[in-house]
């Protein structure tokens, strides 16, 4: 009896994911993009970006079409055929809606990356209070009166409210026609709790939740937050940095001195430095903008943020290299920062633009011009940084050595030997002759 119950329970538990998958009937294309099965039919462009949504099937009613920014990873034009309106996203702050009744411009105000207010086309200002997830929870009038309260399920479904502001859960736009949230790189359906396209990087192979490429915030949206849906370019930069680091080790060390510790340290240092440089740049830029130091889109901001982030990454790389060489961890950190800021600052000006944010598949880094340009840029920048760092270290070492040499020389004892002739006469010479005696003395003195 117990055995029968045990087998029955095992069957029920094992059949849960099967039943759930059968219930949804989701259909994906060869690239893993959700096509149909939830009442919609989706079409994607060559970059795996969602280009249109239809009702039910490929011959269904066209609901929406999308046009993407060629530089930034976001939609710039969305045409909704259900509402008969077109939305233009000029920036995160400026949005224009055009429909049969006219043209309406909306202004959204952000503080430290968080939506705090909106200005309606008629000039009315409304304030937005968010929760711990950054979701719009309470909409307030200029006088502080509550205009709307919005409540969400744990997965982000809007339970009530959400009608008076375009951006809601985690500050993302909810589209009522497609019933999805726009997370820039991927669309999220809160009804089933999964992304419409896969995350191409397994962040932790020992974490079961990370093995699900469609999982939203590791299945725990209370704790985690997904800002843009991917971080593929950081992993690619780390891979290139690691290869350059390893190559630097072999080229700068005597083959008889190769060690596993040294090779691994230089590889890890190169990967960490490159990843930090790529990941930190947008953080620095966003901080500068939110602090009011500069305006968005400033060329000087791009160069400065790239320089500082690259210098910081170069320091991290140098620390790892010092560990591999079994020397003081602080050796050459200043020189590394200088070389990193120089190469990082010059890269945006000299190297071609690589629109890595358009890449959705790891293989595309090798098979597309966009991906190849990005990898090439990373290789050139990392190699230039390594070479410049070596040159500056040599110059610094020689300069330091010369200063030490001069300091030591100034303290070396100087010996002067001289002789003089004493012309005193000695009449008692054995030959009875008057002779002069030569005498020498030696003096030693230190400056």
For residues 135 and 149, the answer to whether their CB atoms sit within 8 Å is no
For residues 200 and 360, the answer to whether their CB atoms sit within 8 Å is yes
DSSP string, 278-317: HHHHHHHHHHHHHTTSS-TT-HHHHHHHHHHHHHHHHHHH
Q: What is the mean pLDDT of the chain?
A: 79
For residues 68 and 60, the answer to whether their CB atoms sit within 8 Å is no
Query: 359: which 2 tokens?
Result: 């890449």
Reported as a pLDDT band with limits 50, 70 and 90, residue 292 is low
Rounded distance between C-alpha atoms, residue 154 and residue 151, angstroms: 10
More confident residue, 239 or 414: 239
Give the whole-number percent of the chain exceeding pLDDT 90.
36
Which letter does DSSP use for residue 228 in this model? Answer: S
Which letter does DSSP use for residue 219 in this model? Answer: G
pLDDT by residue (tens digit) across 94-137? 999 999 999 999 999 987 677 899 999 999 999 999 887 888 99
Q: Quote the pLDDT of residue 26.
A: 87
| Cβ atoms within 10 Å, residue 375 | 18
For residues 249 and 266, the answer to whether their CB atoms sit within 8 Å is yes
Domain range list for the chain: 35-219, 232-397
DSSP string, 99-133: ETTEEEEEEEEEETTEEEEEE-TTS-EEEEEE-TT
Q: Is 141 left (phi over 0), alpha (psi -120 to 50) or beta?
A: beta
Between helix 260-290 and helix 232-252 the angle, nearest 10°, is: 140
Reported as a pLDDT band with limits 50, 70 and 90, residue 418 is very low
Q: What is the CA radius of gyration of the chain?
A: 35
pLDDT at 445 over 50: no
Helix (H, G, I), strand (E, B) or coil at 153: coil
């Amino acid at each position: 009896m117990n055995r029968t119950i045990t087998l029955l329970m095992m069957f029920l538990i094992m059949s849960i994911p099967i039943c759930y998958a059968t219930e949804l009937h989701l259909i994906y294309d060869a690239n893993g993009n959700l096509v149909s099965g939830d009442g919609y039919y989706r079409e994607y462009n060559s970059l795996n970006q969602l280009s249109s949504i239809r009702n039910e099937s490929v011959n269904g009613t066209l609901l929406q079409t999308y046009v993407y920014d060629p530089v930034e990873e976001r939609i710039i034009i969305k045409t909704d055929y259900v509402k008969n309106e077109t939305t233009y996203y000029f920036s995160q702050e400026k949005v224009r809606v055009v429909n049969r009744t006219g043209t309406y411009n909306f202004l959204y105000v952000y503080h430290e990356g968080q939506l705090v207010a909106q200005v309606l086309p008629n000039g009315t200002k409304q304030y937005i209070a968010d929760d711990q997830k950054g979701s719009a929870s309470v909409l307030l009038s200029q006088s502080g009166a509550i205009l709307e309260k919005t409540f969400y399920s744990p997965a982000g479904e809007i339970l009530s409210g959400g009608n008076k502001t375009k951006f809601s859960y985690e500050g993302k736009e909810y589209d009522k026609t497609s019933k999805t949230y726009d997370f820039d790189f991927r669309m999220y359906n809160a009804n089933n709790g999964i992304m419409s396209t896969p995350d191409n990087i397994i962040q932790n192979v020992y974490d079961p939740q990370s093995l699900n490429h469609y999982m939203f915030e590791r299945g725990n949206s209370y704790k985690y937050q997904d800002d843009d849906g991917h971080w593929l370019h950081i992993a690619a930069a780390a891979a290139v940095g690691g290869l350059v680091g390893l190559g630097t080790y072999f080229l700068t060390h005597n083959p008889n001195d190769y060690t596993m510790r040294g090779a691994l340290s230089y590889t890890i240092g190169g990967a960490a430095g490159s990843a930090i440089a790529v990941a930190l740049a947008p953080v620095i830029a966003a901080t500068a903008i939110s602090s009011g130091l500069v305006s968005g889109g400033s060329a000087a901001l791009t160069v400065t943020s790239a320089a500082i982030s690259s210098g910081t990454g170069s320091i991290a790389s140098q620390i790892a290299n010092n560990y591999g060489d079994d020397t003081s961890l602080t050796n050459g950190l200043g020189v590394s920062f200088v070389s990193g800021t120089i190469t990082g600052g010059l890269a945006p000006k000299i190297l071609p633009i690589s629109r890595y944010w358009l890449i959705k598949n790891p293989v595309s880094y090798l098979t597309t011009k966009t991906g190849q340009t990005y990898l090439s840029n990373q290789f050139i920048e990392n190699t230039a940084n390594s070479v410049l760092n070596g040159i500056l270290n040599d110059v610094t070492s020689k300069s330091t050595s010369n200063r030490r040499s001069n300091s030591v020389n100034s303290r070396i004892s100087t010996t002067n030997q001289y002789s003089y002739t004493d012309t005193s006469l000695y009449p008692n010479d054995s030959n009875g002759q008057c002779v002069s005696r030569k005498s020498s003395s030696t003096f030693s003195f230190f400056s």
